[in-house]
């Protein structure tokens, strides 16, 4: 993957890419909250070399501009990603859009707002859905909001212990991470924590929290949902909510897998994506032959 920068007015996007656009759709990948474009590398290595892949740093993350004036709501992020797409002329022909968690929230709303840009969609345990009952994680968040203990958001660790708790929350597999490594992981994040807090409060605000839910019936392209059955952050029943609202929808539930699907099951995720693209595009080809 080569790293590049592109500008929209005074706003900088950082992205990595491999291959170039050809007869197969390009693939744009949107990462989750507090991650960055490199989180996709574990999946990318299992994807065919002839695909044109683009992984972008989401607004305020890694090499993409972080500005106090930026609109970090889901709508604001969708507009930013659209600017990025236009800068690269990625939508010259419709592309395949993949997003996970917060990136899945943005990807789903993007497909609803810009239907002609997207030929197919893959949502990996996306945020943005309204559940009839809250899971433990959401209950805990609501308690924190009520008590104004916003320094204690479980996804924004500031000590090695909190880092360890976050890894356990996000992953089904329990690995023992040495204290030194945990400290290193936290040290990298601490300078960004005030931004992460601001972003987190924005995406769980009334304006953004259920954006995907409110727009899912506008998604008309073939859609694949991938979800870990043991996801403790966003409950797997979200897959069913989406499947009921999106007409052309395939659901893949992964056993013994938590919220970090991309990290926990990269080979399986890549295979599901490849198979889905083949099924969508081969039916397109068959239609042309009839």
Q: Is residue 31 annotated as part of the catalytic site, yes or no?
A: no
Which member of 70, 117, 231, 235 is catalytic?
A: 231
Contact status, residue 30 vs residue 56, Cβ threshold 8 Å? yes
SS (H, E, C) the chain: CEEEEEEECCEEEEEEEECCCCCCCCEEEECCCCCCHHHHHHHHCCCCCCCCEEEECCCCCCCCCCCCCCCCCHHHHHHHHHHHHHHHCHHHCCEEEEEECHHHHHHHHHHHHCCCCEEEEEEECCCCCCCCCCCHHHHHHHHHHHCCCHHHCCCCCCCHHHHHHHHHHHCCCCCCCCHHHHHHHHHHHHHHHHHHHHHHHHHCCCCCCCHHHHHHHHCCCCEEEEEECCCCCCCCCHHHHHHHHCCCEEEEEECCCCCCHHHHCHHHHHHHHHHHHHHHHHHHHHHHHC
C-alpha–C-alpha distance, residues 91 and 146, integer Å: 43
Query: Any idea which residue has 């699907």 for tokens?
Result: 261
Q: Is residue 7 annotated as part of the catalytic site, yes or no?
A: no
Which member of 101, 164, 208, 211 is catalytic?
A: 101
Which member of 31, 61, 105, 259 is catalytic?
A: 259
Query: Mind telling me the catalytic residues?
Result: 101, 231, 259
């Amino acid at each position: 993957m080569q790293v590049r920068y592109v500008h929209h007015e005074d706003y900088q996007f950082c992205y990595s890419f491999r291959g170039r656009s050809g007869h197969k759709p390009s693939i744009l990948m949107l990462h989750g909250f507090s991650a960055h474009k490199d989180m996709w590398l574990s999946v990318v290595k299992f994807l065919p070399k002839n695909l044109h892949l683009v992984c972008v740093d989401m607004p305020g993350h890694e090499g993409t501009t972080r500005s106090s004036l930026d609109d970090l709501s889901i709508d604001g992020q969708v507009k930013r990603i659209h600017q990025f797409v236009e800068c690269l002329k990625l939508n010259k022909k419709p592309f395949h859009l993949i997003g996970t968690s917060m990136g899945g929230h943005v990807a789903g709303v993007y497909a609803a707002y810009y239907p002609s840009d997207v030929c197919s969609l893959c949502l990996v345990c996306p945020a943005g859905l309204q559940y009839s009952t809250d899971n433990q994680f959401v209950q805990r968040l609501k308690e924190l909001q009520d008590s104004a203990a916003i320094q204690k958001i479980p996804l924004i660790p500031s000590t090695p212990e909190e880092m360890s708790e976050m890894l356990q929350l996000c992953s089904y597999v329990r690995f023992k991470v040495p204290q030194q490594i945990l400290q290193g992981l936290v040290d990298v994040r601490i300078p960004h924590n005030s931004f992460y807090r601001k972003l987190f409060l924005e995406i769980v605000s009334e304006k953004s929290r259920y954006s995907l839910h409110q727009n899912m019936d506008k998604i008309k392209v073939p859609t694949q949902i991938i979800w870990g059955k043991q996801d403790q952050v966003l409950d797997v029943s979200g897959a069913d909510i989406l499947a009921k609202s999106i007409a052309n929808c395939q659901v893949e539930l992964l056993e013994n897998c938590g919220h970090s699907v991309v990290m926990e099951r990269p080979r399986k995720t890549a295979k599901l994506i490849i198979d889905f693209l083949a099924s969508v595009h081969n039916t397109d080809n068959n239609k042309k032959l009839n």
